[in-house]
Structure 1
Amino acid sequence: MSATAKPSADALADRRARAKAWFEDLRDRICLAFEALEDAADPALYPGEAGRFERTPWTRGDGGEDLGGGVMGMMHGRLFEKVGVHVSTVFGAFSPEFAARVRGAETDPRFYATGVSLIAHMRNPHVPAVHMNTRFITTTQSWFGGGMDLNPTQDYQRDKSFEDSVLFHQAAKAACDAHDPAYYSRFTDWCDEYFWLKHRQELRGTGGIFYDHLDTGDHDADFAFTRDVGEAFVKAYPQIVRTRMDTPWSDDDREEQLVRRGRYAEFNLLYDRGTKFGLETGGNINSILSSMPPHARWP
């Protein structure tokens, strides 16, 4: 369902500013939570200095016309082998080919997109990798999208009945149920459909929720739901990390992790909408491809 009344220019500017500010605040809190986990990691399992995020601003385009940009946040730590938490705010006009595929851009290619995205690849194979993003996009229409999905790398964890996935899904369901009792069933099914590796006939992970083009006609309600998705992530994932981070691992566990990381890379390069959107709109290539795992194997 979409809104029937188009907001004024001032109202739309306010919506964009509030969304951008929220994504930046969520980014800051996630980075602090991840750095605290780095500090808490057992030196016997994770020797060396605790990692810290390095933030790198970037601008879109050639530096002439203002087309937006963002801040790439990367940490290569002892617990978080590679984690990126990025915020971007980009605007301008889609290419004619891309505009034809984007809702509301068919007749007017101008767009505005702001969002936060993250991917965490963990050093310990028993700590699942994770992905989360939320975004607000406007063309001649506007909507929210995003989600959160868990990506265990060990076979014994790759079932939705495993306790980590149960906790993760419970947090996602609570966020959904607070807004619409139909959301969780719809969005978790959407997640499984979206993160399906067609060429391998398997799921990338154990899922979570995924949604797009959320425009019910009540902008504030849609924004509140998107914020609750972010809060659900902040609540659930650090708890999962704390539960698994002290588990020792073997060379075989690491090998299994690297093979599963290969599946993650395949999805992002072949199917991921965010990757395609970033490349089509001239985003920062380092930020876009930072989701790639630091090491992977295709034996």
Structure 2
Amino acid sequence: MTDPYADKKTRASTWFKTLRDDICAEFEAVERDAPDALYPGEPGKFVFEDWKRKQEDGNALDLGGGTGGMLRGRVFEKCGVHISVVKGEFTPEMQARQPGADKDPRFWAAGISLIGHMKNPHMPCVHMNTRYIVTTQDWFGGGGDLTPTQAKDRDPNSPDAQHFHSVYKDACEAHGRDYEAYKKWCDEYFHLHHRDEPRGIGGIFYDRVNTGDWEADFAFTQDVGRAFLSAYPPIARQRMHQPWTDADREEQLIQRGRYVEFNLLYDRGTTFGLKTGGNVKTILSSMPPVVRWP
């Protein structure tokens, strides 16, 4: 039987790889351009590792996989930029949560996901992902958000916040998308309910987007990915020149604990990956390398 989504799957998965390559090249450039006085040593480079999705019992079918990209450098203390293309069948629990899966448990999913934890406490942590999922329906999701680790930088009116949000606002409005709705969705999603506090200063978040115009939805998702390259690297390049103190580092490590709490308690992407046989190493690479709960 001909797959009606075959061309769309190919185009989407190819785009995610292209975006991965562009982001990794820019992050390695940041590593090279950092001042040696603050960041001694050799600039870091990404190390890529392919993985295959766990096989189901007695099932020899190809269930897909992906490539994890990890950078441990002098500026990026730990950064993961990963792509994946996976397929299979949802468990009954997951089937009940996914549009179109009630009719057929089979799914296909592709995407890019990144998380950057910086060595300099004045450089905010950043997260971005975009994805395309197919059941008996198909949809796009994604977004990007910024998490400063210093209290003085968590002002929603700070220059970093203004720049980051303005780039994503432009991307949304260029496609007639409701930026305010996606911003609100981000604020509500990235919220630590047990502490009643935001994870960071937001960005945009959207999921299950299918307007009926696939080309328009795909073009928007591509521009969300491109927007990241205009939203975050300029902040990183400006901030990487700021020296820091031991007290700044301590505050950073404590705030990183909030990041861990959110990803393990609330993040749907983490749950999706673990419950669909994803690569544990890449899924949990979002965890900071050093953290404190005093």
Asked whether 1:78 is paired with 2:74, we answer yes
Asked whether 1:55 is paired with 2:48, we answer yes
| Match among 35, 40, 44 for residue 33 of structure 2 | 40
Asked whether 1:19 is paired with 2:12, we answer yes
Distance, in Å, in 2 between the alignment partners of 1:52 and 1:260 is 26
| Match among 163, 169, 172 for residue 168 of structure 2 | 172
| Match among 247, 250, 264 for residue 252 of structure 1 | 247
| Match among 140, 144, 149 for residue 145 of structure 2 | 149
Counterpart of 1:3 in structure 2 is none
- With normalisation by structure 2, the TM-score equals 0.97
| Match among 78, 97, 100 for residue 101 of structure 1 | 97
For each residue in 1:210-245, what CA deviation from the matched residue of structure 2 results, as whole angstroms up to 9, or x when unmatched?
A: 000100000000000000101110111100001100
Alignment coverage as a number of residue pairs: 291
Taking the TM superposition and a 5 Å limit, the aligned residue runs for 1:178-197 are 178-180=174-176, 183-197=178-192
SS of match in other structure, 1:52? coil
Counterpart of 1:4 in structure 2 is none
| Match among 259, 283, 287 for residue 264 of structure 1 | 259
SS of match in other structure, 1:29? helix
For each residue in 1:130-186, what CA deviation from the matched residue of structure 2 results, as whole angstroms up to 9, or x when unmatched?
A: 0000000000100000100000001111011000010000000000001115x1010
For each residue in 1:40-81, what CA deviation from the matched residue of structure 2 results, as whole angstroms up to 9, or x when unmatched?
A: 011110111110000000001239320000000001000000
Distance, in Å, in 2 between the alignment partners of 1:9 and 1:228 is 30
| Match among 211, 221, 228 for residue 233 of structure 1 | 228
Distance, in Å, in 1 between the alignment partners of 2:226 and 2:97 is 31
SS of match in other structure, 1:165? helix
CA shift, 1:10, in A, is 4.8
SS of match in other structure, 2:289? coil
Output the amino acid matched with 2:172. Answer: C
Taking the TM superposition and a 5 Å limit, the aligned residue runs for 1:92-131 are 92-131=88-127
CA shift, 1:100, in A, is 1.1
| Match among 215, 222, 234 for residue 220 of structure 1 | 215
Distance, in Å, in 1 between the alignment partners of 2:99 and 2:135 is 8
| Match among 255, 266, 270 for residue 275 of structure 1 | 270
Distance, in Å, in 1 between the alignment partners of 2:93 and 2:5 is 26
| Match among 55, 58, 67 for residue 63 of structure 2 | 67
Distance, in Å, in 2 between the alignment partners of 1:189 and 1:92 is 33
CA shift, 1:9, in A, is 4.2
SS of match in other structure, 1:35? helix
Distance, in Å, in 2 between the alignment partners of 1:256 and 1:186 is 32
SS of match in other structure, 2:117? strand
Identity score, percent: 61
Distance, in Å, in 2 between the alignment partners of 1:76 and 1:233 is 20
Query: Where do 5+ consecutive residues of structure 1 fail to align?
Result: 1-7
Asked whether 1:200 is paired with 2:195, we answer yes
Output the amino acid matched with 1:54. Answer: V
Asked whether 1:295 is paired with 2:290, we answer yes
SS of match in other structure, 1:117? strand
Distance, in Å, in 2 between the alignment partners of 1:76 and 1:121 is 10
- With normalisation by structure 1, the TM-score equals 0.96
Distance, in Å, in 2 between the alignment partners of 1:235 and 1:122 is 18
Distance, in Å, in 2 between the alignment partners of 1:69 and 1:22 is 16
Cα distance change on mapping 1:9 and 1:224 into 2, 3 Å? farther
Query: Where do 5+ consecutive residues of structure 2 fail to align?
Result: none
For each residue in 1:106-140, what CA deviation from the matched residue of structure 2 results, as whole angstroms up to 9, or x when unmatched?
A: 12100000000000000000000000000000001
Q: Which runs of 4+ in 1 moved over 4 A?
A: 8-11
